[in-house]
Structure 1
Amino acid sequence: MKNITLFYIILISVFSFNIYSQKAKVIAADKKYEKYAYIDAIKTYEKVAEKGYKSADIFEKLGNSYYFNGELDKAAKWYGELFAMTTDLEPVYYYRYSQSLRSIGENAKADQILDKFNQIAANDSRGTLFKKNRNYLDEIKANSGRYQIENAGINSKYSDYGTAIYSNKIVFTSARDTGNLGQRKHAWTNQHFTNLYSADLGDNMTPNSPKKFDKHINSKFNEATPTFTKDGKTVYFTRNNYIDGKKGKDANKITLIKIYKATLENEKWINISELPFNSDNYSTAHPALSPDEKILYFSSDMPGTSGQSDIFKVQINEDGTFGTPENLGNTINTEGRETFPFVTDENEIYFASDGHPGLGGLDVFVSKMNSNGAFGEVQNVGTDVNSPMDDFAYLIDTKSRRGFFSSNRAGGQGFDDIYKFLETRRLVCEQLLYGEITDLATAEILSDAKISLYDSRFNLIKNTVSDEKGNYSFAVECGETYNVRAEKTDYTTKEQKITIAKDNGKTHLPIALEKAQCKVAVGDDLGKCFGIKMIYFDFDKSDIRVEAAIDLEKILDVMNQYPNMKLDIRSHTDSRGTFKYNEALSDRRAKSTIKWLIKNGVNKNRLIGKGYGENQLVNRCADGVECTEEEHQLNRRSEFIITDL
């Protein structure tokens, strides 16, 4: 990858030199290296090395220069020279060498180097991830074979990368504008500065001939990686620290990169401004909007970064202001490079990383975002998209499963190229859980029944309502266990557990509801109306479990319907354990149940209760009597006796 990770578009000032001694040449090359002028530095270092002037410092910088330019095969050569000279090196060189070896297919040696990296950098998450999953290549193989990939047809012999969709167009980054003889080149990559280009999209998201995007956004420095709001009136994009004709620099007089915003008025992009969390002293880049456009994701090396670059998010407030950027945390970010985020309307985040186990260089990874904001397992998307080189800037339309990504893999047209793809099989095995809600006695279709899907720990995932034909459905994951709850007025609520098959497909779960037969009267056990035999507690505990809370919700609902109803809550145990212990435990559980109902709005004057321990057994299973577990279970019960209406 020639010019696309977080620092690849830093502005560099390049000075010519005419120095004759080898030592003086190295000093001059060092200056260029320190200013990220890697191409010029490489030329000098290699000439000096060829003449026999060799040192660990030169090999380090040659390896780094090629590594940061994405030429990992050449980086492997010079890191190899470095390790042949000395192994007394900082841990990061072990990691970079392993990545470079992987790019040329030397996986066994790469694993050996990574093992050594683990020994000297035991707390580094990259080594920990490798150690935790030494069979990662098998997993990558299992995730492969899911894409049809072809050249996007808009590439040049220069660097092309980083796509966005806007008004049925693809907008991308390109260094193809060579201009006139005076056109400046980027000293890091020896490429011309990048601009934004666009191309109309035809059938199957096939781009037509590209043209420059907009003269008001494109400047004499680098522009890259835009993201657009759905109404097409706002764009966020990456640019060198340059606005209103003024160029900003950090303390080392280096021009870094920032995220800018522009709005569309009268077909012109105007009001270009930098975002408030930018700084001259660190870089922000590669913005991506959440589907609801309330969160902006981006890459940065700002304070709080774990590695070379991390992915952050920031809230976009209703008035257009921004919150405080938040690091996505160590599930996503490592001590390496995480960059190029893209978020789908299916709560997935795709990103590029060289810190998670991959094939070499940057690979594309994906993680599912949970409803509480946490991230699930990070998965490599497979060898179709990923290669031994740098692969990044992944974008997918979730409806058509078509999209684009960028790569500097072998066989491309230029330095970085854009590829289009069709995903033919999803990465995560998914099933459709579906069924019909009917009347148990008559088989009549029941519409407007509320169906709730819970995970195996009774955490609510989502709700739906049966349609006019009694049908319901949920998208679920293969191999998982769920609890499905169906409820409808005048019917007894029913819950069923279902384990989904481990293959893609459909799982049928019809639910027949029984007409509510319970007549609420003084002296009745309200729990029997809902089939509540006991309120579940953990062993030797009196804290309300999630399963118990679901049953108590039913009791709460009836008490809200009958505001004068009063209950006597009784908790019973079986005979196992001492008499005194069982009585105390059951009393704590009765009081815990009362406390839960009060906390959820029931007046304490409507509730009484106590624990009876083993005083009121319903069968023969007293102390010393041998009974089955099922017989003991009958004695472990909860009662909700109606004392007043």
Structure 2
Amino acid sequence: MKNSILLSLILVSAFFSLKSYSQQSKVNSGDKKYDQYAYINAIKTYEKVANKGYKNEDMFKKLGNSYYFNSEFDGAAKWYGELFVMNTNVEPEYYYRYAQALKSTGDPAKANKIMDEFNAKFKNDARGQLYQDNVNYLDKIKANSGRYKIEDAGINSKYSDYGTFVYKNKIYFASARDTGNFSQRKHKWTGEYFTNIYDADIDADGNTSKVNKFKSGLNSKFHEATPVFTKDGKTVYFTRNNYVEGKKGKDANKVTLVKIYRATLENGKWENIAELPFNSNNYSTAHPALSPDENTLYFASDMPGTIGQSDLYKISINSNGSFGTPENLGKTINTEGKETFPFVTNENEIYFASDGHPGLGGLDVFVGQITPDGKIDDIQNLGGDINSSKDDFAYSIDPVSRRGYFSSNKDGGLGSDDIYKFLETKRLKCIQELYGVITDAENGTILPGSKVTLYSNQMEMKNSAVADASGRYSFPVECGKSYNVRAEKEDYTTKEVSITIEKTTGKTELPIALEKATCKVTVGDDLGKCFGIKMIYFDLDKSNIRTEAAIDLEKILAVLNDNPTMKLDIRSHTDSRATFKYNEALSDRRAKSTINWLIQNGIKANRLTGKGYGETQLVNKCADDVPCTEAEHQENRRSEFIIIAL
């Protein structure tokens, strides 16, 4: 009997060992497909094993990823869920992807719970901090919704269609619809055919005619997508697999990545197809977008220095067609997740898709403001009209008509990705036009060529312009905000005017009359007042001379050069905010910084004295703990150039 039991145990053990070996063999087969980015085939193999009860953390990770990378979030949520049942001590990416997948499947409460755990465990990940800083992000998204009229673009197929560019009454886009010959092959990542570029005629309302395959050398037997044409129509930038002149490039893992290519129009044909010089076989570059002046190319990449899975970059285009050095757009826009599909307007806005900023799930479309120094701020989700729980991306808009297109795999479409057209009926920001005419204060003569600069009420430069032949200037400004407008003209005294914009859309007129620079000064006078210089502006808590400060100091420099016996005492003052000691030290550094700038520009040191007085010489009531407006505090933050000898 004992021998019989022992034999039975041996047979059972052998059976399970063989079964386990068989399952592991299938998992190994799935791993090979996964490592080759053949996610559709990997899913089939893994699920056969998983559905028979086989459990393995690494398999669940790869199975969840295979669904996630194809934006099939139901499947991703299911298998990430199985992973978390086995073990929650996993890499941060799985927390984030699980939360994204849960949001996409309609379970925001559980998604937020996972995000809370994510932020608690991985405090250095910017996505967790963004979530924490925008804990009421759903309320913000709701507030940004209800601003669009959206329709099917009329060019979709049952395959993937995405990524639009409008040029001369035609719309160009990528599609996987070409299945018509034996040489067409499916992409193992998605299970669909490779994409090519297509076009269709469109009218002013965005209505399209018959779709045609773009007949040019741009299309190959691999992926092509996201073309962007220059305004003259002679140059196109586009995305393609690493493939040119019949040769396919691969990275160190023998994977063919994507690159940005450029082609030029020669005698009606697209010729000189070449990859851009900052491409590499070892990382991807994709989805080019041109700045309105066509001097800068924006794109997505995972090149070295990338913060997340893909970041947004920009690079200058030189006049001879060469390129500068790629520049990462920074951590205000790029996260540890994926940022991609940039689009830049002439209103200094950058639209992009991201799964790293707080959204509804998958990729959402966001917009950020490009500041004069090239940084990105004020990033906002476009709302629940454009965005969904799926992937929403490749947004483009005509800033004048407010019509445009975006791509999405949201429910209700014809294919895996579809193109939608839209009309924006209400701006995300309430924008007004601030305009006016610069004139001579004495006789009303218009002053074309005057330099006009727009500052925030904190004296941060927002925009600048030169008055046109009619003396007119114009800036887009935000409703309800306060601004300072500075007008400058040679032989005239610079003038600065403060204005608060109404809280409704429309126009605000601000004419500015300049007086001839004929002021006379004597010992004891403030030379700065002669030029309308209220203060020399510094960055917050800094003492280095800013660009706009240097512009004002040039005026002081010119007077000193014209009057070689003039001597000045330079006095810097602060408001009462911050401590007495701190204000005294900061103002003294600023006074010395102003003196050093003049010395570096040729003025002898014995003609200049100076000191910082901190908050000891306030010109109004605004002492410590006295309630004051920002304008009242600014009266105390001043620079004085007192003439002590002539």
Residue 334 of structure 1 deviates from its aligned partner by: 1.1
Shift in alpha-carbon separation, 1:569–1:163, aligned structure 2, 3 A: same
- Contact map agreement 1:518 1:529 (CA 8 A) in 2: no
Q: Distance in 2 between matches of 1:205 and 1:304?
A: 39
Residue 202 of structure 1 deviates from its aligned partner by: 1.5
**For 2:254, what is the secondary structure of its paired residue?**
coil
Q: Aligned pairs, how many?
A: 595
Q: Aligned residue for 2:416?
A: 415
AA matched with 1:287: P
Residue 158 of structure 1 deviates from its aligned partner by: 0.5
- Contact map agreement 2:570 2:608 (CA 8 A) in 1: no
AA matched with 2:484: N
Q: Aligned residue for 2:173?
A: 172
Q: Aligned residue for 1:525?
A: 525
Q: Aligned residue for 1:28?
A: 29
- Contact map agreement 1:22 1:48 (CA 8 A) in 2: yes
TM-score (norm. length: structure 2): 0.82
Q: Distance in 1 between matches of 2:388 and 2:258?
A: 27
Q: Distance in 1 between matches of 2:314 and 2:468?
A: 38
- Cα deviation code 1:533-561 (max 9, x no counterpart): 986799xx99698798676555445456x
Q: Distance in 1 between matches of 2:383 and 2:297?
A: 27
- Contact map agreement 2:405 2:419 (CA 8 A) in 1: yes
AA matched with 1:495: E
Q: Distance in 1 between matches of 2:153 and 2:612?
A: 74
Residue 168 of structure 1 deviates from its aligned partner by: 2.5
Q: Aligned residue for 1:375?
A: 376
Shift in alpha-carbon separation, 1:226–1:491, aligned structure 2, 3 A: closer
Aligned-pair identity in percent equals 63
Paired residues for 1:37-56 under 5 Å = 37-56=38-57
Paired residues for 1:294-443 under 5 Å = 294-435=295-436
AA matched with 1:566: T
Q: Distance in 2 between matches of 1:585 and 1:272?
A: 57
Q: Distance in 2 between matches of 1:428 and 1:454?
A: 18
Q: Distance in 1 between matches of 2:164 and 2:544?
A: 51
Residue 24 of structure 1 deviates from its aligned partner by: 2.6
AA matched with 1:65: S
Q: Distance in 2 between matches of 1:572 and 1:498?
A: 28
- Contact map agreement 2:528 2:534 (CA 8 A) in 1: no
**For 1:149, what is the secondary structure of its paired residue?**
strand
1:291 equivalent in alignment to 2:292: yes
Paired residues for 1:239-258 under 5 Å = 239-258=240-259
Q: Distance in 2 between matches of 1:353 and 1:592?
A: 43
Residue 463 of structure 1 deviates from its aligned partner by: 4.2
- Contact map agreement 2:589 2:612 (CA 8 A) in 1: no
- Cα deviation code 1:602-625 (max 9, x no counterpart): 5668x4657899xxx9xxxxxxxx
**For 1:288, what is the secondary structure of its paired residue?**
strand
Consecutive unaligned residues in structure 2, runs of 5 or more: 1-19, 574-583, 618-631
Paired residues for 1:205-224 under 5 Å = 205-224=206-225
Q: Distance in 1 between matches of 2:446 and 2:110?
A: 63
- Cα deviation code 1:556-595 (max 9, x no counterpart): 45456xx246323246899xxxxxxxx9999999876654
Paired residues for 1:536-551 under 5 Å = none
- Cα deviation code 1:328-348 (max 9, x no counterpart): 221121111111112222222
- Contact map agreement 1:590 1:609 (CA 8 A) in 2: no
Q: Distance in 2 between matches of 1:453 and 1:29?
A: 60
- Contact map agreement 2:177 2:193 (CA 8 A) in 1: yes
Residue 499 of structure 1 deviates from its aligned partner by: 3.0
AA matched with 1:112: K
Q: Aligned residue for 1:160?
A: 161
Q: Distance in 1 between matches of 2:612 and 2:229?
A: 65
Paired residues for 1:516-595 under 5 Å = 518-519=519-520, 525=525, 527=527, 530=530, 552-559=553-560, 563-564=562-563, 566-570=565-569, 595=596
Paired residues for 1:605-644 under 5 Å = 607=607, 639-640=642-643, 643=646
Shift in alpha-carbon separation, 1:515–1:296, aligned structure 2, 3 A: closer
Q: After alignment, is 448-457 or 244-253 more displaced? A: 448-457
- Cα deviation code 1:154-197 (max 9, x no counterpart): 00000000112233311110000011356321111111111111
Q: After alignment, is 511-520 or 307-316 more displaced? A: 511-520
- Cα deviation code 1:484-532 (max 9, x no counterpart): 2345677654333223344434444454556767446x65836386287
Shift in alpha-carbon separation, 1:351–1:611, aligned structure 2, 3 A: closer
- Contact map agreement 2:526 2:641 (CA 8 A) in 1: no
TM-score (norm. length: structure 1): 0.82
Q: Distance in 2 between matches of 1:217 and 1:55?
A: 44
Q: After alignment, is 461-470 or 416-425 more displaced? A: 461-470
Shift in alpha-carbon separation, 1:566–1:31, aligned structure 2, 3 A: same
Paired residues for 1:480-491 under 5 Å = 480-487=481-488
Q: After alignment, is 185-194 or 48-57 more displaced? A: 48-57
Q: Distance in 2 between matches of 1:271 and 1:116?
A: 52
- Contact map agreement 1:446 1:466 (CA 8 A) in 2: no
Consecutive unaligned residues in structure 1, runs of 5 or more: 1-18, 575-582, 618-628
The two structures, once aligned, show a CA RMSD in angstroms of: 3.8
**For 1:76, what is the secondary structure of its paired residue?**
helix
**For 1:191, what is the secondary structure of its paired residue?**
coil
- Contact map agreement 2:494 2:532 (CA 8 A) in 1: no
AA matched with 1:527: L
1:66 equivalent in alignment to 2:82: no
Paired residues for 1:2-151 under 5 Å = 21-151=22-152
Q: Distance in 1 between matches of 2:391 and 2:317?
A: 31
- Structure number with greater CO (CA < 8 Å, separation at least 6) is 1
Q: Aligned residue for 2:7?
A: none
Q: Distance in 2 between matches of 1:104 and 1:587?
A: 59
